[in-house]
Chain A
Amino acid sequence: MAMTIGRWARHNLFASPSSSLLSLVSIPLTLYVAIFAARWVLFTAHWSVVVDNLAVLLVGTFPGDQIWRALVAGAGLSALFGMTLGLVLIAKRWKRYVVIAAALAVAAAVSYGMQLQWLAGAFGCLSIALVACAATSRWPQIGRGMGLLWLLGVGALCALLVPAGVDRWGGLLLSVLVTVIATLLSLPVGILLAFGRNSRFSSLRLACSGYIELMRSVPLVCTVYWSWIIIPLVFPPDIHIPDLARGVAGFVLFYAAYAAEYVRAGIQSVPRGQSEAAQSLGFSKLDESFIVVLPQALKAVIPALVGNVLDLFNNVPALFIIGLTDFLKAGQTVLANPQYSSSQYEVYVFLFAAYLAIGSLISYGARRIELKMSEGAR
Chain B
Amino acid sequence: MKPDELSDCIGSSDVSGEGTVSQVKLSSTESRSFGRPPSPASQSELKRRRLARTRAAAIQTLILAGIVAAVLAFLGMVWAGLRRHGIGFSLDFLEQPAGFNLSEGLTIAKSPHGLSLVPFNSQQTYAQALFAGFYNTLVVTLISIVLATVVGVIVGVGRMSRNWIVKTWAWAFVELIRNTPLLIQLIFWYFAVLLQLPSLADASLLHGALIASRQGVFIPWLVATPAFSRYAWFAGLAVAVFAIGVLLRTPGRRRAAFATGAGILVLGLAFAGRPFSIDMPQASAFSVAGGAGFSPEMASLIIALGVNFAAYVAEVVRGAVQSIDKGQWEAAAALGLAHRESLWVVVLPQAVRVILPSLGNLYVTVAKSTSFAIAIGFPDMFSVYGTVANQTGRALEGIIIVMVVYTLISLSISAIANLYNRHVMKKGAR
> Which of the segments B128-136, B226-234, B403-411 contacts the partner chain?
B403-411
Contact B184 A348 (CB under 8 A): yes
Residues of A within 8 A of B1 (CB): 311, 315
**Quick one: which of A251-279 are within 8 Å of B by CB?**
258, 261-262, 264-265, 268, 272
**Quick one: which of B187-213 are within 8 Å of A by CB?**
187-188, 191-192
Shortest CB-to-CB span from A117 to chain B, Å, is: 26
Does A2 reach chain B (CB closer than 8 Å)?
no
Give the residue name and chain of the B residue nearest to A230 (CB): B78
Contact A356 B181 (CB under 8 A): no
Give the residue name and chain of the A residue nearest to B79 (CB): A233
Residues of A within 8 A of B162 (CB): 12, 15-16, 19
Give the residue name and chain of the B residue nearest to A310 (CB): B179
Residues of B within 8 A of A220 (CB): 368, 371
> Which of the segments B59-67, B215-223, B319-327 contacts the partner chain?
B59-67
Does A360 reach chain B (CB closer than 8 Å)?
yes
Contact B406 A222 (CB under 8 A): yes
Give the residue name and chain of the B residue nearest to A231 (CB): B81
Bitwise interface map of B from 129 to 155 toward A, beta carbon under 8 Å scored 1, else 0: 000000000000000000000000000
Shortest CB-to-CB span from A46 to chain B, Å, is: 15
> Which of the segments A108-116, A198-206, A241-249, A287-295 contacts the partner chain?
A198-206
> Which of the segments A80-88, A163-171, A210-218 contacts the partner chain?
A210-218
Residues of A within 8 A of B74 (CB): 234
> Which of the segments A23-31, A52-60, A130-138, A142-150 contacts the partner chain?
A23-31
Residues of B within 8 A of A30 (CB): 165, 169
Q: Report which of A12, A233, A235 forms a contact with B85, defined as CB distance below 8 A.
A: A233
Does B182 reach chain A (CB closer than 8 Å)?
yes
Does B372 reach chain A (CB closer than 8 Å)?
yes
Shortest CB-to-CB span from A176 to chain B, Å, is: 13
If A217-B406, A233-B78 touch, does A272 touch B27 (CB 8 Å cutoff)?
A: yes
Contact A23 B165 (CB under 8 A): yes
Q: How far is the CA of A43 from the CA of B375 in the complex (A)?
A: 32
Shortest CB-to-CB span from B14 to chain A, Å, is: 6
Shortest CB-to-CB span from B292 to chain A, Å, is: 27
Give the residue name and chain of the B residue nearest to A175 (CB): B181
Q: How far is the CA of A15 from the CA of B162 in the complex (A)?
A: 8
Shortest CB-to-CB span from B120 to chain A, Å, is: 22
Residues of A within 8 A of B382 (CB): 219, 221-222
Does A232 reach chain B (CB closer than 8 Å)?
yes
Shortest CB-to-CB span from B207 to chain A, Å, is: 21
Contact A304 B5 (CB under 8 A): yes
Residues of B within 8 A of A321 (CB): 374
Contact A12 B180 (CB under 8 A): no
Residues of B within 8 A of A317 (CB): 181, 183-184
Residues of B within 8 A of A352 (CB): 176, 180, 184, 188
Residues of B within 8 A of A68 (CB): none
If A13-B165, A311-B2 touch, does A304 touch B9 (CB 8 Å cutoff)?
A: yes
> Which of the segments B242-250, B296-304, B348-356, B394-402 contacts the partner chain?
B394-402
Does A296 reach chain B (CB closer than 8 Å)?
no
**Quick one: which of A311-359 are within 8 Å of B by CB?**
311, 313-318, 320-321, 328, 332, 335, 344-345, 348, 351-352, 355-356, 359
Contact B410 A265 (CB under 8 A): no
If A217-B407, A265-B10 touch, does A222 touch B179 (CB 8 Å cutoff)?
A: no
Contact B63 A22 (CB under 8 A): no
Give the residue name and chain of the B residue nearest to A208 (CB): B67
Does A283 reach chain B (CB closer than 8 Å)?
no
Does B42 reach chain A (CB closer than 8 Å)?
no
Does B175 reach chain A (CB closer than 8 Å)?
yes
**Quick one: which of A1-52 are within 8 Å of B by CB?**
12-13, 15-16, 18-19, 22-23, 26-27, 30
Does A226 reach chain B (CB closer than 8 Å)?
yes
Q: How far is the CA of A264 from the CA of B375 in the complex (A)?
A: 34
Shortest CB-to-CB span from A30 to chain B, Å, is: 6
Shortest CB-to-CB span from A118 to chain B, Å, is: 21
Q: Majority SS of interface residues in chain A?
A: helix
Q: Report which of B9, B13, B184, B192 forms a contact with A328, defined as CB distance below 8 A.
A: B184
**Quick one: which of B315-362 are within 8 Å of A by CB?**
338-340
Q: Report which of B2, B31, B396 forms a contact with A307, defined as CB distance below 8 A.
A: B2
Contact B24 A233 (CB under 8 A): no
Contact A229 B180 (CB under 8 A): no
Does A282 reach chain B (CB closer than 8 Å)?
no
Contact A318 B407 (CB under 8 A): no
Residues of B within 8 A of A262 (CB): 6, 9-10
Contact A229 B179 (CB under 8 A): no
Residues of B within 8 A of A23 (CB): 163, 165
Shortest CB-to-CB span from A265 to chain B, Å, is: 4
Shortest CB-to-CB span from B212 to chain A, Å, is: 18
Contact B9 A12 (CB under 8 A): no
Residues of A within 8 A of B407 (CB): 214, 217-218
Does B109 reach chain A (CB closer than 8 Å)?
no
Shortest CB-to-CB span from B101 to chain A, Å, is: 23
Q: Report which of A12, A203, A314 forms a contact with B60, defined as CB distance below 8 A.
A: A203
Residues of A within 8 A of B13 (CB): 209, 213, 261
Contact A229 B396 (CB under 8 A): yes
Does B289 reach chain A (CB closer than 8 Å)?
no
Q: How far is the CA of A235 from the CA of B181 in the complex (A)?
A: 33
Does B166 reach chain A (CB closer than 8 Å)?
yes
Bitwise interface map of B from 55 to 94 toward A, beta carbon under 8 Å scored 1, else 0: 0100110011001000000100110011011000000000
Does B164 reach chain A (CB closer than 8 Å)?
yes
Shortest CB-to-CB span from A354 to chain B, Å, is: 9
Contact A201 B188 (CB under 8 A): no
Q: How far is the CA of A268 from the CA of B14 in the complex (A)?
A: 16
* Chain B residues close to A by CB (< 8 Å): 1-2, 5-6, 9-11, 13-14, 20, 24, 27, 31, 56, 59-60, 63-64, 67, 74, 77-78, 81-82, 84-85, 161-166, 169, 175-176, 178-184, 187-188, 191-192, 338-340, 364, 368-372, 374-375, 382, 395-396, 399, 402-403, 406-407, 409-411, 414
A–B complex contacts, Cβ < 8 Å, 9 sampled? A12-B162, A12-B163, A16-B162, A202-B60, A220-B371, A222-B382, A262-B9, A308-B2, A363-B178
* Chain A residues close to B by CB (< 8 Å): 12-13, 15-16, 18-19, 22-23, 26-27, 30, 200-204, 207, 209, 213-214, 216-222, 225-226, 229-230, 232-235, 237, 258, 261-262, 264-265, 268, 272, 301, 304, 307-308, 310-311, 313-318, 320-321, 328, 332, 335, 344-345, 348, 351-352, 355-356, 359-360, 362-363
Known: A314-B179, A314-B181; 15 extra A-B contacts, CB below 8 A, are A12-B163, A19-B161, A30-B169, A200-B56, A217-B410, A229-B395, A235-B81, A268-B20, A272-B27, A348-B192, A352-B180, A352-B184, A355-B180, A356-B179, A356-B180
4 tightest A-B CB contacts, nearest first:
A233-B81, A359-B179, A217-B410, A12-B164
